[in-house]
Amino acid sequence: MPRPSLRLCLAALWVFILGVAIALAAVIYEAYEQGPGSQIRHASLSAEKACTELATKFSWGEENKSYSLEKKSDFQYALLEIILEHYEGVEGGYWNSEKTFGPYAYPTYEGNGIKRDIPESERPTLNRLADQANLKHALQSELKRGSREGIYYTACPLSLVANSGAAWTMIRIPLSTGFAYSKFQWSLSLIFVFIIISGIGLGLVVYRWIRNVRSLEREILQHSVDNLPPLNPNPELELNRIVDAINQLNSRFQASKAETKKLERKIAHNDRLSALGKMAAEMAHEIRNPLATISLKLENALVDPASRLPLAAPIIYAQIGRMDRLINMLLAMTQQFAIKAQTVDIQDWVSTSFLNIRKNAESKKVSLLFDFQVERWSFDPFHLARALENLLSNAIAFTAIHGQVRVSFFKEDSNLIIIVEDEGPGISAQVRDTLFEPFKSHRVDGNGLGLVLVDDIVKAHGGSIEEIGSSSGALFRMEIPWQKS
């Protein structure tokens, strides 16, 4: 089973941190609910609601005459018991307009027995708040905080009529545990902030790492292995080590590649020299034919120089030119090519380098069609023009009148591809095997050295050439890598 990727592991860790942060946030909220601030808020709401309900229910009973004057205290006590039963920890009572306390109840008291007495220490505060509520006809409240507990007092007027009395409630709030929860809450909050910062930091690290990895990946993929330039340093230390390793490996690869090309050129040169022995015999045969023709024409001309020499001279001159071309091509084969690469505008190069080929095509009424899909490339313009000229010369020779020769330039991977396609009879499989061997010509006026020269020039560029044939005739494909100038 394959191991998960680093990105997946970091993403899973980030999700885990997020889950911990959410769980901790829930714990912090619960701790906050147990803190003194939250307890005071809940206690004050409970006390005020109970006080308001005591005043409202009593006022309703008074308006509807639900009790007699003698039963007023009993009615108030009943209300206290019934209402305060629903408010945990709330004790309360009624205060008369004579500034005296009426019935009091604490139904949820957890001590032994029933609590009936108002705490003496709380009477002054309750008396003051009830008097203010009675005079201002508005709810009055006050909080007293001690070291261990707080007390929240509330007083509500019984009606809008002045001096009608008031209802009051009070609730005790334990603050010691609240302060402990508050400290616990702050501790959890600090941990929560630390986790959030850690999660954000981890997310930024993961994002930066992924971004740098993708940048390195794009930089590598936009080049071929054969032409990979030195990679730029990466901001990530770990990735930069990989970049250094790739650059060192690429340097060794390029050095090995250059050495390989050098050895290939030496081997090719040695192969050409070793083939001279075999070629000498064939060369002698090729030279003997024009020499025999020259000798015959001269003998005939000497019989009657005045009439025969003008007719023999053009033929003798043509045969001498043929031998000259043969010798020049043979010399070119025995010399090692020195490629002088430069960046070339391909359309300008074609328009200026093949004027004779165009004239040859026009004289035979053959159309030359060029398709340029690459604007510029680096190669030796002189030698590659010689190679392409040989291919075009053969293509025109084998193409019928009004036929077409198509030449295409396009890029494939890191190579310039040159396609030369004619509409001739094509090349058979038997001929294709000896196509690039010297003195294996299939043209009447050929010497069998043109394609050998083409092959040598292409290989000197580090490229390759092959004849792959087509449905309409011969098709030669050359691959030329970008040459470092």
Q: Is residue 209 part of a domain?
A: no
Residue 266 and residue 140 share a domain: no
For residues 144 and 159, membership in a common domain is answered with yes
Q: State the DSSP H helix or E strand holding residue 218, giving kind and residue range, or none if neither.
A: helix 176-221
Whether 68 is in a domain gets the answer: yes
Same domain, 390 and 441: yes
Is 474 among the domain residues?
yes
Highest mean pLDDT, choosing among 95-109, 191-205, 434-448: 95-109
- 97: domain CATH number is 3.30.450.20
Question: Looking at residue 5, what DSSP letter applies?
Answer: P
pTM of the model: 0.39
The pLDDT of 26-39, averaged and rounded, is 65
Q: Are residues 402 and 358 in the same domain?
A: yes
Task: Specify whether 151 is located in the same domain as 233.
Answer: no
Domain boundary among 335, 350, 366: 335
Structure tokens of 467? 């004849």
* Average predicted confidence (pLDDT) for the chain: 80
In a domain, 88, yes or no: yes
56 or 264, greater pLDDT: 56
Do 366 and 440 lie in a common domain? yes
Is 446 part of any domain?
yes
- Domain residue limits at 291: 279-335
Which of 188-202, 240-254, 468-482 has the lowest average pLDDT?
188-202
First to last CA, the chain: 49
Q: What are phi and psi of 113, to 5 degrees?
A: 80, -170
**In a shared domain, residues 65 and 77:** yes
Closest CA to 133 of 63, 51, 15: 51
- Cα distances (Å, whole numbers) of residue 451 to 274, 324, 448, 455: 19, 18, 7, 6
The 10 Å Cβ neighbour count of residue 61 is 16
Q: How many domains does the chain have?
A: 4
Tokens 């909220």 locate to: 29
Instruction: List b or e across 255-273, with b for residues whose CB sees 16 or more CB atoms inside 10 angstroms.
Output: eeeeeeeeeebeebbeebe
Please compute the mean of the pLDDT values over residues 190-198 and round it to a whole number.
77
Residue 353 lies in a domain: yes
Residue 83 backbone phi and psi in degrees, to 5: -75, -50
Amino acid identity, position 184? F
56 & 164 share domain: yes
Residue 168 maps to a domain: yes
Q: Which residue has the tokens 């580090």?
A: 462
**pLDDT of the residue at 444:** 47
User: Where are any strands of DSSP class E within 353-392?
Assistant: 367-372, 376-379
Is 267 a residue whose pLDDT tops 90? no
Q: What stretches of 231-357 adopt beta strand conformation (E)?
A: 342-345
Report how far Cα 305 is from the mean position of its chain's Cα atoms. Answer: 86
Same domain for 248 and 283? Answer: no
Q: Which of 287, 305, 335 is the last residue of a domain?
A: 335
Task: Residue 202: name the closest of 414, 450, 469, 15 by CA.
Answer: 15
Do 92 and 84 meet the contact criterion of CB atoms below 8 Å apart? Answer: yes
**Longest distance between any two alpha carbons in the chain, whole Å:** 176
What order do you get walking across the sheet with 475-481 strand by strand? 367-372, 404-412, 415-421, 475-481, 464-467
Same domain? 343 vs 330: no
Closest CA to 376 of 353, 351, 342: 342
CATH number of the domain that 358 lies in? 3.30.565.10
pLDDT digits (tens, 9 = 90+) for 288-337: 666 767 777 777 777 677 777 777 777 776 667 666 666 665 665 555 66
Q: Which of 232, 253, 274 is the last residue of a domain?
A: 274
| Contacting residues for 268 by C-beta, under 8 A, at least 6 apart | 456, 459
Whether residues 397 and 412 fall in one domain: yes
What percentage of residues in the chain have a pLDDT greater than 70?
78
Identify which of 141-155, 176-190, 335-349 has the greatest average pLDDT.
141-155
Q: Indicate if 42 and 153 belong to the same structural domain.
A: yes
CA distance 457 to 454: 5
Q: What is the DSSP letter of 441?
A: -
Residue 200 falls within a domain, yes or no? no
